[in-house]
Amino acid sequence: MAVVLEKLKDKTYPIVKWVGGKRQLMFELLQNLPKSYNRYFEPFIGGGALFFELQPQNGYISDMNEELINLYMVVRDNIYDLIDDLNKHEVSKEYFLKIRNLDRTEKYNALSNTEKASRFIYLNRTCFNGLYRVNSQGQFNVPFGNYKNPRIVDTENLINCSKLLKNTEICCADFSKILSKVKKDDFVYFDPPYVPLNETSSFTSYTRDGFDIDMQFKLRDVCDELDSMGVKFMLSNSDTKLINELYSNYEIKKVFASRAINANGKGRGKITEVLVRNY
């Protein structure tokens, strides 16, 4: 009997480490996906853990972080130049500071998009905890991570990600933009900046704009609109009173994640999060 071997898809992994990355929750996310859907949307893409796991064809990804979106566009459109540029980097504190501090000078504006993307990956791999944090002037200010052998160029993964992104619409936009893009039976996964569990655990430096309570209300309104259009959505957030109240019309499932969002690692431990679904 002839055995037909189907070519397995090349696996893709997130290109950058991102605060709020969803790897600890992956099993739960996969278990709770809709059984079927048309187009996949992820409007708070960050490191894109679920997107790179699912490898949707003809997907849509967006984020408000311009540098991050530039990175995904360069991986899609200019992968070999990016790999060449990444190979130029050195791992030392002096070199790290030289690259990090480029955005404090005129030189930054003269960088090509590829050089900006290369700097972004380099800083993500070599800075402390892979954090992305900018000051009020938009200057990257995370210290050197002192890792022995950080992997800066993962050529195979970058090429596989590039193939996947060629079939993906990429936008630098607010999450609400998806309302003009989605159609009935599409699926949206929302992973917004979480409502803080308490004041001291808040981490709101993803972008210069922050994501406050009004934005959480605006996001719920977008979910209501999707629901009325027949679009499926799943949303993750913290297990707080506000989130339980905002989404009380939907299915809310408690899940456990081990998280570390404090720079000193003290915030590590199992905490409850919620997955909200309208299907």
Ligand X SMILES: C[S@@+](CC[C@H](N)C(=O)[O-])C[C@H]1O[C@@H](n2cnc3c(N)ncnc32)[C@H](O)[C@@H]1O
Q: Which spans of this chain sit near ligand X (rule: CB under 6 A)?
A: 18, 20-22, 43-44, 46-49, 63-65, 174-175, 191-193, 206-207, 211
Q: Which is nearer to ligand X, 69 or 158 (CB)?
A: 69
Q: Which is nearer to ligand X, 186 or 191 (CB)?
A: 191
State the minimum distance, in angstroms, from the CB of residue 15 to ligand X: 10
CB 30 within 8 A of CB 53: yes
State the minimum distance, in angstroms, from the CB of residue 163 to ligand X: 20
What is the C-alpha separation between 211 and 213, in angstroms, rounded? 7
State the minimum distance, in angstroms, from the CB of residue 257 to ligand X: 11
Q: Which is nearer to ligand X, 210 or 230 (CB)?
A: 210
CA–CA distances in Å: residue 63 to residues 52, 69, 82, 172, 173: 15, 7, 21, 5, 6
Q: Which is nearer to ligand X, 20 or 143 (CB)?
A: 20
Backbone angles phi, psi at 188, to 5 degrees: -120, 130
State the minimum distance, in angstroms, from the CB of residue 98 to ligand X: 26
What is the C-alpha separation between 158 and 80, in angstroms, rounded? 9
Q: Which is nearer to ligand X, 59 or 193 (CB)?
A: 193
The two tokens of residue 247 are 């989404």
Q: Which is nearer to ligand X, 32 or 65 (CB)?
A: 65
Q: Which is nearer to ligand X, 144 or 203 (CB)?
A: 203
Looking at this protein, which amino acid is placed at residue 17?
K
Instruction: Specify the pairing of strand 232-238 against strand 251-259.
Output: unpaired
Q: Positive or negative CA dihedral for 31, 37, 42, 43?
A: negative
Complete DSSP assignment for 69-122: HHHHHHHHH-HHHHHHHHTT---SHHHHHHHHGGGGSTHHHHS-HHHHHHHHHH
State the minimum distance, in angstroms, from the CB of residue 97 to ligand X: 24
State the minimum distance, in angstroms, from the CB of residue 114 to ligand X: 21
State the minimum distance, in angstroms, from the CB of residue 130 to ligand X: 11
Output Rg (C-alpha) for the chain, integer angstroms: 19
